[in-house]
Amino acid sequence: MADKALVVLSGGQDSTTCLYWALARFGGGSVEAVTFDYGQRHRVELQCAAHVAGQAGVPQTVLPIDTFGALGGNALTDRDIAVPGFDANEGGLPSTFVPGRNLVFLTFAAALAWQKGIAHLVTGVAQTDYSGYPDCRRETMDALQRTLCLGMEASFVIHTPLMQLTKQQTVELARDLGAIPAMALTHTCYKGVRPPCGECAACVLRAKGFDAAGIPDPLLCA
Amino acid sequence: MADKALVVLSGGQDSTTCLYWALARFGGGSVEAVTFDYGQRHRVELQCAAHVAGQAGVPQTVLPIDTFGALGGNALTDRDIAVPGFDANEGGLPSTFVPGRNLVFLTFAAALAWQKGIAHLVTGVAQTDYSGYPDCRRETMDALQRTLCLGMEASFVIHTPLMQLTKQQTVELARDLGAIPAMALTHTCYKGVRPPCGECAACVLRAKGFDAAGIPDPLLCA
């Protein structure tokens, strides 16, 4: 497998930063993106992901996953469940937790990478500032990397460039990678509205990061 | 999580044996089944799985997965790719290999189990007589179990009662569990035809197992 990378691109701030990280690390002709259409409530992300990939000149594959919707029971795919505010995740997992979501995303990404002869998988999960999602931790990613390598007889490496970064540091990384303009194309709000609701956990975290870095969010300046 | 079990039930011989193994191990009211509709060419399996679960009195959940069909490139979901004969898998993975299939099945099974408060997952994968699938090995299952536990903050146990059994021993286990009559409801043929083609790798393995155990296959006696 050559030194090519497949980035899990949701169309959000973090995965967009990862796309530019991969372009800097692996080079322009060696990066592809995969986006999952899993019935997410914030479906505007799908358009954002296509715009981000297009502007970066990166081939993008969109894969459907209808299983999470059939499983139900979470606020990201089930419209009957309210999206919690920022403080709602005290004590237990938040209602936006889709069990196994990142595990499934990376397993399907690995399946696509296997077909394409790509060894490097890149994901924007972070355990700093994370919203209580156990599938965002490096320990989980290490176990998953081993599982994918064994299960597909391959030498996958899961890169998590944002894992130890605060939201401020992620914004600063995006600045260093020249990715701030692309942030105007991204979407973060859990409620899927534009302009962003400004109240959900994702919006609050994003605003804090840009504020702390002292960089205006181009999404809000648009 | 109580001592309840969720069996990945494909409608085939092995998963049906696992269902009866789980019933013997965990008791009648503590077993459920999950079946995946992933666009398999042998779709008759879905009916078989429903019949097997119904006869065993086990609640069954059917979950769709449209992603493998979108990925394409394998003989189990892609009708443009021929199903190989028994000797076709010499040197390299066979064309029936769906990268990550069992990893995805068990991850979604774990997500469903997480919702239902079920800790025990049961799958019929076997590394003896297996068709060259690296996601059927116990080492892979161990890594996956760790991944699922970390990723969902749960205490899952993946049971693989057939892992070390030959096909003969699997038939003998089914006999000991009283599961032979249920085999008349199962489906094995990769080509999805009834009566079974008798030529594909799955048919040949099944016939060898029943022959070696000296037990008539009720599917062929029907």
pLDDT for B136 equals 85
Separation of alpha carbons B165 and B174, rounded Å? 12
Confidence band of A63 (pLDDT split at 50, 70, 90): very high
B103 at interface of A, judged by CB pairs closer than 8 A: yes
pLDDT for B82 equals 58
pLDDT for B160 equals 97
Contacts of B22 (CB under 8 A, 6+ apart): B5, B7, B31, B120, B122, B159
Distance of CA B180 to the CA centre of its chain: 16
Q: Name the token pair of B37.
A: 């509709």
Confidence band of A80 (pLDDT split at 50, 70, 90): low
Better pLDDT: A49 or B220: A49
Which among B67, B71, B151 is the nearest to A134, CB-wise?
B151
Q: Count structural domains, chain B.
A: 1
pLDDT for B88 equals 40
Phi, psi of B181 (to 5 degrees): -55, -35
pLDDT for B6 equals 98
Which among A63, A67, A103 is the nearest to B151, CB-wise?
A103
Phi, psi of A166 (to 5 degrees): -75, 170
Separation of alpha carbons B181 and B208, rounded Å? 18
B215 at interface of A, judged by CB pairs closer than 8 A: no
Confidence band of A222 (pLDDT split at 50, 70, 90): low
The region of weakest confidence among B1-10, B130-139, B177-186 is: B130-139
Q: What percent of chain A has pLDDT over 70?
A: 86
Separation of alpha carbons A132 and A93, rounded Å? 6
Alpha carbon of B153: minimum distance to chain A alpha carbons (Å): 6
Query: Residue B136 gets which letter from DSSP?
Result: G
Q: Name the token pair of A123.
A: 């994901």
Confidence band of B134 (pLDDT split at 50, 70, 90): confident
Is pLDDT of A89 > 90? no
B178 at interface of A, judged by CB pairs closer than 8 A: no
Is pLDDT of B5 > 50? yes
pLDDT in tens, B99-124: 889 999 999 999 999 999 999 999 99
The length of chain A in residues reads 222
* Residues in B touching A98 (Cβ below 8 Å): 111
The average pLDDT across B39-64 equals 93
Separation of alpha carbons A207 and A216, rounded Å? 9
Q: In 3D, which of B135, B131, B11, B16 has the Cα closest to residue B83?
A: B131
pLDDT for B83 equals 53
Contact A67 B63 (CB under 8 A): yes
* Residues in A touching B70 (Cβ below 8 Å): 63-64
pLDDT for A106 equals 98
CA distances in angstroms from A51 to A26, A124, A154, A206, listed in the order given: 21, 18, 31, 20
The one-letter amino acid code at A17 reads T
Q: Which residue of B153, B155, B158, B160 is the best one to mutate when testing the A interface, meaning the one whose CB has the most A CBs within 10 A?
A: B153
Is pLDDT of A95 > 90? no
Which among A103, A134, A150 is the nearest to B107, CB-wise?
A103
Alpha carbon of B216: minimum distance to chain A alpha carbons (Å): 34
pLDDT in tens, A133-171: 888 899 999 999 999 999 999 999 999 999 999 999 999
Q: Which residue of A104, A105, A112, A127 is the best one to mutate when testing the B interface, meaning the one whose CB has the most B CBs within 10 A?
A: A104
pLDDT for B164 equals 92
pLDDT for A127 equals 85
Is pLDDT of A117 > 70? yes
Alpha carbon of A145: minimum distance to chain B alpha carbons (Å): 9
B143 at interface of A, judged by CB pairs closer than 8 A: yes
Query: Angle formed by the axes of helices B13-26 and B167-176, to 10°?
Result: 40
Better pLDDT: A22 or B192: A22
Q: What percent of chain B has pLDDT over 70?
A: 86
The average pLDDT across B69-92 equals 59
The CATH number given to whatever domain includes residue B8 is 3.40.50.620
Confidence band of B39 (pLDDT split at 50, 70, 90): confident
Contacts of B198 (CB under 8 A, 6+ apart): B189, B204, B207
Is pLDDT of A131 > 90? no
Q: Which domain holds residue A84?
A: 2-221
pLDDT for A88 equals 40
* Residues in A touching B99 (Cβ below 8 Å): 110-111, 114-115, 152
Q: State the Cα angle at B183 between B177 and B187, rounded to 5°.
A: 140
Order of all β-strands in the sheet with A31-37: A60-64, A31-37, A2-8, A118-122, A157-159
Q: In 3D, which of B51, B4, B1 has the Cα closest to residue B27?
A: B4
B117 at interface of A, judged by CB pairs closer than 8 A: no
Peptide bond into B218 cis (omega under 30): no
Q: State the Cα angle at A196 between A195 and A198, rounded to 5°.
A: 130
Helices marked H in chain B = 13-26, 44-56, 67-71, 101-116, 138-152, 167-176, 201-213, 218-221
| Cβ contact A176:A165 at 8 Å | no
Residue A220, Cβ density class (10 Å: 0-12 exposed, 13-18 middle, ≥19 buried): middle
Separation of alpha carbons A181 and A215, rounded Å? 11
Phi, psi of A3 (to 5 degrees): -80, 70
User: Is the sign of the CA dihedral B51, B14, B217, B79 positive or negative?
Assistant: positive
Residue of B nearest to A105 (CA): B104
Which among A104, A134, A135 is the nearest to B104, CB-wise?
A104
Q: In 3D, which of A149, A122, A133, A114 has the Cα closest to residue A190?
A: A133
pLDDT for B89 equals 40
Better pLDDT: B130 or A155: A155
Phi, psi of B221 (to 5 degrees): -85, -15
CA Rg value for chain A: 16
Which among B66, B67, B147 is the nearest to A103, CB-wise?
B147
